[in-house]
């Protein structure tokens, strides 16, 4: 103990620097060290935007005027069933002329940077399972999230910050399973940060002085490593030890990332933010940009939780305030990334767990719909200004180029430089992967 305290007071700063900043030289000794993918990727990092509850594809990025026509004339859709037209008109945007409804007027102006996938299909029609599906590829059993797979494969570029951050004001369906590393080492789980005056609880030092904290941490490190030698091969123990190291680094780095005071008025306006704001989706988007600038590998943005979300069973008009809350910030994020030269190697993903039914539920609502829905990608080596895949005239069936969730994940991993069939982890006697035993890279959308 005496020796440890002595080392803490005299050598700890150098030791900590070695642990947090130079561990990458040790390679396998630090699982968070930057790693080379299977081949040079077009993206180095991911911003994953997830809308909880199931955004309607036919009211946003796959408009279907036929629905309004059939509703007006009292016709039934092919195969039976009423039609419910969208309350938001659509129009072509950008040089590409892709149609987007007025639900997202600001994102629509960025359409030439978007690759809209209109032929998404998932495996489940319930929120809990579908939310797991879009995040983990599995709708039956808990599995590692896409963010965990990415950071497991690539490591991180900043040892003083979490490799995988989730900015979520409320808990989504399936809770923390959405960002869990499951059987992957615990260090690859997402770190949730909420908005508000204290996004990261207990970030400030509790010890009276920095020197005392260094003494305490040095002693703790010594005891932890002794305990680790007695219990080898425990991934949760290693994750806990690493979390202490990352937490110390966060005390130095995270306050700077979360301090938006030096952002210009023009940048704040781009995200639709007021100076001093610490809540809202604009805050989430700007913090995401600042995090990837500091080397965080994977940032997920979740707009709402498991209630008061996009689940528009009673009235599709409830989409309007939800869209207003995210439309300008997302458009601002894309423009900001582009102006800073970050969009070319940052993959921005925009998705939800499923779409909404072309026919009504009740008078003006829409039900769950996993058989066809829309997502989009931007930057990171995908083509901009294209719409991939096609649904029928009602948005009910995939007519061309189906993109299953496994295909979507395989394409994301490909942009990062991974062969999705080779990014595996042996667990319980089997090699697991994000795409299970399926998935094909959608090569047509790659730049």
Q: Could you give the CA distance from residue 114 to residue 117 in angstroms, rounded to a whole number? A: 9
Give the tens place of pLDDT for each residue, 431-440: 999 999 999 9
Each as own residue / partner, the long-range contacts of residues 331-334 (CB below 8 Å, 24 or more positions apart, any chain) are 331/106, 331/107, 331/109, 331/110, 332/106, 332/270, 332/271, 332/272, 332/282, 332/285, 333/47, 333/271, 333/285, 333/286, 333/288, 333/289, 334/107, 334/110, 334/113, 334/378, 334/379
Q: Could you give the CA distance from residue 298 to residue 35 in angstroms, rounded to a whole number? A: 14
Question: What's the pLDDT at 20?
Answer: 39
Question: What's the pLDDT at 22?
Answer: 38
Look over the chain and give the mean of its residue pLDDT values, rounded to a whole number: 90
Q: Could you give the CA distance from residue 240 to residue 299 in angstroms, rounded to a whole number? A: 21
* Cα-Cα-Cα-Cα dihedral sign, residues 214, 186, 288, 413: positive
Low-confidence winner among 20-24, 48-52, 244-248 (lowest mean pLDDT): 20-24
| Tokens encoding 212 | 């005392």
**CA-to-CA separations, 282 to 2, 290, 302, 314, 425, in angstroms, rounded:** 50, 12, 12, 28, 36
Give the tens place of pLDDT for each residue, 334-345: 999 999 999 999
Low-confidence winner among 4-13, 61-70, 158-167, 380-389 (lowest mean pLDDT): 4-13
Say which DSSP state 347 is in. E
Confidence of residue 21 (pLDDT cuts 50, 70, 90): very low
Give the tens place of pLDDT for each residue, 144-181: 999 999 999 999 999 899 999 999 999 999 999 999 99
Give the tens place of pLDDT for each residue, 400-415: 999 999 999 999 999 9
Q: Could you give the CA distance from residue 428 to residue 426 in angstroms, rounded to a whole number? A: 7
What Rg value do the Cα atoms of the chain yield, rounded? 23
Question: What's the pLDDT at 100?
Answer: 98
Q: SS3 for 45?
A: strand
Q: On the CB side of 182, how many CA atoms lie within 13 Å of its CA? A: 24
- What pTM did the predictor assign? 0.87
Question: What's the pLDDT at 243?
Answer: 66
Question: What's the pLDDT at 253?
Answer: 82
Q: What average pLDDT score do residues 391-406 get? A: 97
Q: At how many degrees (to 10) do helices 2-10 and 12-21 cross?
A: 80
- Using the predicted structure, report yes or no on whether residue 378 has a pLDDT greater than 80: yes
In Å, the largest CA–CA distance within the chain is 86
Give the tens place of pLDDT for each residue, 23-72: 333 344 688 899 999 999 999 999 999 999 999 999 999 999 999 999 99
**CA-to-CA separations, 56 to 60, 316, 352, in angstroms, rounded:** 7, 8, 9
Query: How many residues appear in the chain?
Result: 447
DSSP letter for each residue of 52-85: TT---STTTTS--HHHHHHHHHTPPPTTS-----
E-strand ranges in 178-248 read 191-193
Q: Angle at CA 206, nearest 5°, toward 201 and 207?
A: 160
- Using the predicted structure, report yes or no on whether residue 231 has a pLDDT greater than 90: no
Of 55, 66, 119, which Cα lies nearest the Cα of 90?
A: 66
**When comparing pLDDT for 447 and 246, which is higher?**
447
Q: What average pLDDT score do residues 360-374 get? A: 97
């Amino acid at each position: 103990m005496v020796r440890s305290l002595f080392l803490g007071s005299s050598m700890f700063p150098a030791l900590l620097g070695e642990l947090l900043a130079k561990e990458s030289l040790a390679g396998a000794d630090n699982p968070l060290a930057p790693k080379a993918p299977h081949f040079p990727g077009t993206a180095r990092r991911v911003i994953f935007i997830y809308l909880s509850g199931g955004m309607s594809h036919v009211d946003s990025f796959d408009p279907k005027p036929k629905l309004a026509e059939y509703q007006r004339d009292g016709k039934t859709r092919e195969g039976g069933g009423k039609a419910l037209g969208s309350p938001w008109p659509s129009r072509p945007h950008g040089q590409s002329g892709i149609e987007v409804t007025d639900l997202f007027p600001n994102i629509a102006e960025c359409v030439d940077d978007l690759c809209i996938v209109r032929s998404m299909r998932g495996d489940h029609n319930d929120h809990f399972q579908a939310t797991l599906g879009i995040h983990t590829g599995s709708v039956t059993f808990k599995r590692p999230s896409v963010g965990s797979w990415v950071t497991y494969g690539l490591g991180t570029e900043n040892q003083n910050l979490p490799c995988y951050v989730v900015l979520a004001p409320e808990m989504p369906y399936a809770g923390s399973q959405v960002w869990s590393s499951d059987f992957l080492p615990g260090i690859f789980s997402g770190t949730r940060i909420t908005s508000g005056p204290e996004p990261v609880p207990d970030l400030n030092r509790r010890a009276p002085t920095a020197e005392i904290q260094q003494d305490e941490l040095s002693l703790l490190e010594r005891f932890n490593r002794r305990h680790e030698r007695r219990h080898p091969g425990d991934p949760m123990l290693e994750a806990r030890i690493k979390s202490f190291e990352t937490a110390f680094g966060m005390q130095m780095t995270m306050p700077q990332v979360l301090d938006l005071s030096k952002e210009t008025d023009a940048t704040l306006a781009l995200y639709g933010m007021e100076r001093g704001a610490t809540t809202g989706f604009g805050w989430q988007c700007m913090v995401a940009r600042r995090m990837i600038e500091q080397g965080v590998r994977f940032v997920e943005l979740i707009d709402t939780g498991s209630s008061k979300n996009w689940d528009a069973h009673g009235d599709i008009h409830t989409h309007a305030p939800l869209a207003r809350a995210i439309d300008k910030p997302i458009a601002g994020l894309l423009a900001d990334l582009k102006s800073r030269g970050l969009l070319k190697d940052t993959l921005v993903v925009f998705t939800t767990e499923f779409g909404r039914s072309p026919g009504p539920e009740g008078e003006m609502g829409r039900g769950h719909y996993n058989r066809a829905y829309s997502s989009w990608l931007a930057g990171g080596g995908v083509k901009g200004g294209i719409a991939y895949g096609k649904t029928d005239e009602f948005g009910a069936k995939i007519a061309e180029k189906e993109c299953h969730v496994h295909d979507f994940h395989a394409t994301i991993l490909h942009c990062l430089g991974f062969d999705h069939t080779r990014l595996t982890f042996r667990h319980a006697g089997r090699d697991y992967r994000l795409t299970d035993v399926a998935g094909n890279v959608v090569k047509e959308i790659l730049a």
